[in-house]
Structure 1
Amino acid sequence: MEMISFNIANGYLEGVVRGYRAGLLNASTYQTLTQCENLEDFRMQLSATDYGNFLANEPSPISTSTIAEKATRKLVAEFEYLRQNAVEPLSTFLDYITYAYMIDNVILLITGTLHERDTHELLERCHPLGWFDTLPALCVASTVEELYQSVLVETPLGPYFRDCVSAADLDDLNIEIIRNTLYKAYLEDFYNFCQTLGGVTTDAMSELLAFEADRRVINITINSFGTSLSKEQRARLFPTIGKLYPAGNNQLAKADELEQVKAVCELVPEYRAFFDAAPGTAGAGEANADQLEDKMFKEESRMNKILTIQQFSYATFYSWCKLKEQEIRTLAWIAECIAQGARGEFVHARSGVRNRCTF
């Protein structure tokens, strides 16, 4: 019955997103792209993929930023087509996906404004999926209260922002606290919404959001070592979902070193391998913070690849968007390596994890 009712409202768009999924670049295509001698060759190779002639009208020499911008526009166009044709509750589900980009845009603007970066440049760097009408006004806010009352109160982020108002000043530490407080509220709200959807969607999204929450808990813990962030403040930033919650979260809130984090993650079988050093690297069997983040990101990608082949689930839309975002970052990385004549870096290409936090 669930399968029949799902297709009535969402069958067409599920077919569309599966078409998008089929157009994602594969390992063979990436291998071909890494062999390109210059960005003109890179552009020609991309034209033979699902990207088509999206760079055809760009003048030479083409830049890495242009490639990333045009690829992002393609993602946005495809996502907006899905959102414009969706009905409830899929339309609300797609809206929730954009809230993460809104949070990133807000933090980008207030951080850039704090460090006196050019406003026009900051606005250009904002992700289109996270754009809202009052976003430019963030550049003139000087306190958290002003930020909330004049700009964010009427946005979807308004309810998430209420717990941030106690941080009166906009400095680097408070901005990181705001970022993680917003993500905590967002993940919990998104998780609770997905519980109402039922079926395959609830199971799949619970798994994905639980992993995202755990990754944030681990990153917050490690990146707060040696900073002025108190253990009480750290604990308040942890989402109340995930496989580490509640016992693991309580232990990580008190942790002082990486070995304690490793001991907590040993309790979750899926997380045990995160702390194993890559073969041939220094560190007697223990991964450093960068290796840990890479492994968590790869695990998230693996989960998303599996979920994009499931049927009758909204998680397919979420996972496709995440994989597409990763693809754009990878393309930008390969293009930058080619532009700088550093093709040897492909051996250890980094994916640029978006959610990393530093205190």
Structure 2
Amino acid sequence: MAFRRAGITTVDEWLILMETKQQAWWRKQQKRAKMTWWSRVGLGNLSQADVERNTTMSEGLFFNVATGYIEGVVRGYRNTLLTGQQYSNLAQCETIDDVKLQLGPAYGDFLADLPPNPSTSALADKTLDKLVSEFRYLQANATGSLSKFMDFLTYGYMIDNVALLITGTLHERDTRELLERCHPLGWFETMPALCVATNIEELYNSVLIETPLAPYFKGSLSHQDLDELNIEIIRNTLYKNYLEDFHNWVNSHSGVAGSPTAEVMTEILEFEADRRSINITLNSFGTDLSKADRQKLYPSFGKLHPEGTLMLSRADDPEAVRIAVDGVHDYRTFFDQTGMGSGSNVGNMAGGSDEGKSLEDLFYQKEMELSKLAFTRQFTFSIVYAWVKLREQEIRNITWIAECIAQNQKDRIGNYISVF
């Protein structure tokens, strides 16, 4: 009855309420302790270090009560990621079977049912299965703010899946076949319901009702926008709304704002927003996308916002993009290393030495640096996000090495990103 009077209908809402009350109680006790301390030794003797130490203790106390177990599990997962030496061993393999054997200790039963000399796509699918299995285990044990945080991690994959279903519907393909191509982390319970749509308007209405992405559609897109020419605009619009929502949540939610999670995730999300703004600009050259429409696709936060994104919206060539990002050291360095603005093109994992890396490669490297740094912090949800990104890079590395072996391109096999 007390739950009903308080307007609480789920266990997660109760946990969030308890978390908020615990934090309020601790602040009250901390204030009392400070007043007692001040009365004994004087206000001037309480150092900033004492205050920060007490704050850290309170963060650790309540964080570990709710999510300490999951943090320990994730740090254990991080320790199973492949190291530089293991990648070197993989690069020496002669066949995909050799790769499978080398991955045995790390991936175990997930590779057990692969046939002899499997395809690289089959190998990649099995490595992805491990990520999905571990993520689902964490998600099943997450409560309160962490549960919502992990939901946010899946929304990006949901956007890709919905875009795939929209494309299939436009081409009048059987959307049930497309379900097999959807990313498992972007799967939601009502996704099969989207398959009953026979036209784009029915699919649009289903998305608004049946998926967690409804808020990102409302007010931004109508069913008239869902055509083949606009599919990438749709995807980028949804991502923009998603990133802005995620950024706002980590900086305003009562259980997260002001915490190490907010600090780390703000930096990560700002980088992601900037990366998308730069890529959207470069990919728009030579297309019918107007500068005004391009600007609407930029997230409204990040190190480049607002001056840098304004300059990006006016850019006509890669040199103008380089000038727009000149105020951010990392991005300026990336353009200098790739020669962007001097006639070079943007590639995806184009092989070669460090000097031959593409802009996309350097963005991936930066993402891995931020993810690795997240594990140096304590009492933060961000390590879950970081672990997912690190594992995804590991899957890309394994797929790249296996593909080079399958195509006998051993001279390009070293173009992977080893983090540990």
Q: Same fold (TM over 0.5)?
A: yes
**Among residues 214, 222, 225, which one is paired with 2:282 in the alignment?**
222
Q: Which whole-Å CA distance do the structure 1 matches of 2:417 and 2:174 have between them?
A: 28
Residues 277-312 of structure 1: CA deviation (Å, up to 9, x unaligned): 35xxx8797753222222112111111111123211
CA deviations 1:134-156 (Å, max 9, x no partner) are 3245454533x433312342321
Matched, 1:33 2:90: yes
Provide the aligned length of Structure 1 versus Structure 2: 346
Work out the CA distance in 1 between the residues paired with 2:154 and 2:193.
19
Residue from 110, 113, 118 that aligns with 1:54: 110
> 1:94 and 1:284 mapped to 2: Cα distance?
38
- Name the structure 1 match of 2:316: 256
CA gap 1:9/1:63 in 2 versus in 1, 3 angstroms: same
Which residue identity lines up with residue 328 of structure 1 in the other structure?
A: I
Q: Within 1, Cα distance between the matches of 2:341 and 2:320?
A: 16
Residue equivalent to 2:142: 86
Q: Is 1:129 matched up with 2:148?
A: no
Q: Which of 146, 156, 159 does residue 100 from structure 1 map onto?
A: 156
Q: Name the structure 1 match of 2:102.
A: 45
Partner Cα distance (2:409, 2:205) in 1: 47
Secondary structure of the residue aligned to 1:193 is helix
Matching residue of 1:17: 74
1:246 and 2:302 matched: no
The answer as to whether partners of 1:76 and 1:129 remain within 8 angstroms in 2 is yes
CA distance in 2, matches of 1:141, 1:178: 20
Residue equivalent to 1:355: none
> What is the aligned partner in structure 2 of residue 301 from structure 1?
368
1-structure distance, mates of 2:370, 2:150: 19
Offset from partner CA, 1:175-233 (integer Å, 9 cap, x none): 11110110001001111111121311110000000000000111111111121111111
Q: Higher Cα Rg: structure 1 or 2? A: 2
Q: Is the 8 A contact 1:110 1:138 kept in 2?
A: no
Give me the whole-angstrom Cα distance separating, in 2, the residues matched to 1:15 and 1:7: 10
Q: Displacement of 1:121 after TM fit?
A: 4.3
Going from structure 1 to structure 2, the CA distance change for 1:7 and 1:286 (only over 3 Å counts) comes to: farther
What does residue 172 of structure 1 align with?
A: 228
1:324 matched to 2:414:
no
Deviation sequence 1:34-68 (CA, Å, 0-9, x none): 111111111111113x2123212222232222211
Q: Counterparts of 1:89 and 1:199 in 2: how far apart (Å)?
A: 12
Deviations 1:71-103 (A, max 9, x none): 111111111111111111001000100011101
Distance 1:75 1:5 in 2: 28
Amino acid aligned to 2:119: S
Q: What does 1:262-341 align with in structure 2 at a 5 Å threshold? A: 262-278=322-338, 288-290=345-347, 291-341=358-408
Measured in 2, the distance between the counterparts of 1:331 and 1:163 equals 41
- Match for residue 235 of structure 1 among 295, 306, 309: 295
Residues 150, 161 of structure 1: alpha-carbon distance in 2 compared, 3 angstrom cutoff: same
Contact residue 277 and residue 284 of structure 1 kept, 8 A: no
- Report if the CA contact (8 A) 1:275-1:287 is conserved: no
Identity, % of aligned pairs? 55
5+ unaligned residues in a row in structure 1: which ranges? 352-359
Deviation at residue 241 of structure 1 after TM alignment: 1.0
* DSSP 3-state at the match of 2:287: coil
Opposite residue 346 of structure 2, the aligned amino acid is A
Partner of 2:271: 211
Q: 1:215 to 1:134 in 2, by over 3 A?
A: same
| Cα drift, residue 324 of structure 1 | 0.7
State the one-letter code of the partner of 2:334.
F
Distance 2:417 2:370 in 1: 19
Q: Hey, what's the Cα distance between the residues in 1 that align with 2:230 and 2:193?
A: 19
Q: Residues 141, 227 of structure 1: CA spacing in aligned structure 2 closer, same or farther, 3 A cutoff?
A: farther
Describe the SS at the equivalent of 1:47.
helix
CA distance in 1, matches of 2:376, 2:417: 26
Query: What stretches of structure 2 of length at least 5 have no aligned partner?
Result: 1-57, 348-357
Residues 57 and 283 of structure 1, relative CA distance in 2, 3 Å threshold: closer
Rounded to whole Å, the distance in 1 between the matches of 2:283 and 2:417 is 19
CA distance in 2, matches of 1:342, 1:136: 40
